[in-house]
Amino acid sequence: MKTKSIQSIKGTQDILPSEVHFWQEMERKIFEEMALFGFSEIRTPAFENTDLFSRSVGEQTDIVSKEMYTFEDRSGGNLTLKPEATASVVRAFIQHNLDKINTLTRLFYIDALFRRERPQKGRYRQFHQFGAELFGSEHPEADIEIISLASSIFKSIGIDEITLKINTIGSKSARDNYKIELKRFLKPQFNKLSEASRERFEKNPLRILDTKNSQEQEILLNAPQIFEYLSEDDKAHFSEVKMHLKGLNINFEIDPYLVRGLDYYNRTIFEFISNEIGSQNAICGGGRYDSLVSQLGGSDTPSIGFAAGMERILLATSNKERAENIDCYIVCMGNKAQDWVLKCANKLRSMKFSVCFDLLKRSLKSQMKEANRLNAKHAIIIGENEIKDNKFQVKDLDTGKQQEVAFEHIIKYFKNL
Ligand code: ATP
Ligand code: MG
C-alpha cells in the first residue's frame, strides 16, 4: 500500500516554479522603487517575544486577541510568529540604536507573516507583505514620502484600479475623548449592533466604525466624527497632507470611518483598496505612529509606515504564465561524450549562459523534445563521432540554422551571439 502523503497546513501556500517569476518580478520592482526613495532593507527574525506584539499592536486588537500563533518555548519563554512587521522593525531600530546613526532612518522589508484567520481568497495564515518605515520626522512631508512610495510601487507593478483612502485620527487624548462620545451615541442602539461590534463596544469602540454590516453603517451615518475632536495642530497636519497629495496628483478619498485595526496609529492613516479583487480588497494599510518607538523603550521618534499584502497584489494584477527558457541544451550521445558535455556546460555557464543536458541517457529524439520543452535557444550535439572529427553541430532552435564548429570554437560561437 502506498504511504499516505503529508499535505501543507490549511491557509499556507506553495509558490510553484510556474508562478514564482511573478513574485520575483514584484520583488525586483519593490527593490528598485525602494532604492529610488532611499530606503534600505532590514530583515528581522520570524519569531519574537509575545510581549512585543501585545505592547505595540495592542491587547484588544483582532491580531493579538485571536490571530497570533503563540507558543511556549521548551524553556518556558512565550514566543509568537510575527503577525506584522512594524513591531519587529521598531524593536530592531531601538535595539541597534539606529537613531544614533542618522536622524532620519528609512527602512523597508519583504517578509512572511502569520495570522490564524479563516482562510479564503486573499486571506491566508501565512502571507507576505512588503512595507516601509520612515523614522524621525513629524512633518506632513514624511507622510507624503511614504504614501507616494507605496503609490509608485503599485504603479510600477501595474496596479491601476486602486483607491487611496485617508483619514486622520489625531492624538491619543483626542481619540479617548472621541471614544467617550462615540459610546454615548451608540449606547441607545446597543441592541441593534452585531455581536462583533457589541464585543468591541467596551474594548475597542473605534473598530465599530469600519464595520461591513449595512445596518450598522446606517446607524453610524449620524455618529459624531473624530475630526471634530482633533486639535488645531492635528487638523493643520492633515490639511498639509491633503495639499501635497493634490500637488503630486495622487488621487485620494477622505474616509471618516477609516480607523485601521492597530492601536499604535495616530494622525494620518490610509489604505489602498483594489477595485478588482472582491471582498478582501485592502491591499495596503499604513499610518503615523509617533509614540510607538518610545512606548517600546526607545527615544521619542515620530514615525510613519505602510504594509502591503503581496498575495492580494498578485490577485489584482493580470498574470500570464511564463514558460521556462534556457540559452542552450546539450544533447549527449554515448557514454564517452559525457565528460565533454559536463565540461562544455560548465564553460558556458561560467560565461553566464544557462545550460541543461540530459541526465537519463535518453535517445536523441527525446533529448531534442526536452530541449524544446525548456525553450532552449540553442542546441549542441556532442557524440563520439563529433569528438573524433572535432566537428560539433550547433543549432539555433529559433531559426533552425545549423553550424558545424570545432570544440574550441563553440565558446566563440556563443561569445559572438
Ligand atoms: P484586513 O482588514 O483585510 O484583515 P488588516 O487591516 O488586518 O487587513 P494589515 O494588518 O493592515 O491588514 O496588513 C496590511 C495588508 O496585508 C492588508 O491590507 C492586506 O493586503 C494584507 N493582509 C493582511 N492580513 C492578511 C492575510 N491574512 N492574508 C493575506 N493578506 C493579508
Ligand atoms: Mg485583518
CATH number of the structural domain spanning residue 354? 3.40.50.800
In whole angstroms, what is the distance from residue 376 CA to residue 368 CA?
A: 10
* From 68, 279, 284, mutation site for ligand 1 pocket: most ligand atoms within 8 A of C-beta: 284
Same domain, yes or no: 74 and 163: yes
Same domain, yes or no: 353 and 309: no
Q: Please compute Rg for the chain using Cα positions.
A: 28
Whole-number percent of the chain with pLDDT over 70 = 99
Other C-beta atoms within 10 Å of 223: how many? 16
- Distance between terminal CA atoms of the chain? 54
Do the beta carbons of residue 162 and residue 277 sit within 8 Å? no
Of 102, 128, 130, nearest to 114 by C-alpha is 128
Identify whether 67 is part of a domain.
Answer: yes
The CA distances from residue 201 to 26, 178, 189, 195, in Å, are 40, 13, 11, 10
Do the beta carbons of residue 119 and residue 125 sit within 8 Å? yes
**Which pLDDT does position 367 carry in this prediction?**
97
Other C-beta atoms within 10 Å of 382: how many? 26
Binding site membership of 235 for ligand 1 (Cβ less than 6 Å): no
* From 120, 123, 271, 274, mutation site for ligand 1 pocket: most ligand atoms within 8 A of C-beta: 123
* From 57, 116, 127, mutation site for ligand 1 pocket: most ligand atoms within 8 A of C-beta: 127
Same domain, yes or no: 263 and 365: no
Binding site membership of 256 for ligand 1 (Cβ less than 6 Å): no
User: What tens digit of pLDDT does each residue of 305-364 get?
Assistant: 999 999 999 999 877 667 778 999 999 999 999 999 999 999 999 999 999 999 999 999
* Residue minimizing CA distance to atom 2 of ligand 1: 282
Which parts of 289-327 are beta strand (E)?
303-309
- H/E run at residue 147: helix 140-157
In whole angstroms, what is the distance from residue 122 CA to residue 352 CA?
A: 38
The total domain count for the chain is 2
The CA distances from residue 359 to 338, 349, 372, 374, in Å, are 10, 17, 16, 14
User: What tens digit of pLDDT does each residue of 219-269 get?
Assistant: 999 999 999 999 999 999 999 999 999 999 999 999 998 988 777 899 999
**Which pLDDT does position 188 carry in this prediction?**
93
Same domain, yes or no: 303 and 333: no
What's the angle, vertex CA 211, arms to CA 260 and CA 245, rounded to 5?
A: 45
Same domain, yes or no: 247 and 351: no
Binding site membership of 283 for ligand 1 (Cβ less than 6 Å): yes
Identify whether 242 is part of a domain.
Answer: yes
Farthest CA pair distance, the chain: 96
Identify whether 177 is part of a domain.
Answer: no
The last residue of one of the domains, among 272, 287, 316, is 316
User: What tens digit of pLDDT does each residue of 166-203 get?
Assistant: 999 998 888 889 999 999 999 999 999 998 899 889 88
Do the beta carbons of residue 117 and residue 123 sit within 8 Å? yes
In whole angstroms, what is the distance from residue 222 CA to residue 370 CA?
A: 68
Identify whether 183 is part of a domain.
Answer: no
Three-class SS of residue 400?
A: coil
The last residue of one of the domains, among 272, 291, 316, is 316
Grid cell digits, residue 399? 531559426
H-state helical runs in 191-337: 195-203, 214-220, 232-247, 292-295, 310-316
Structural domain boundaries enclosing 359: 328-415
Of 26-40, 270-284, 289-303, which range is least confident? Answer: 270-284
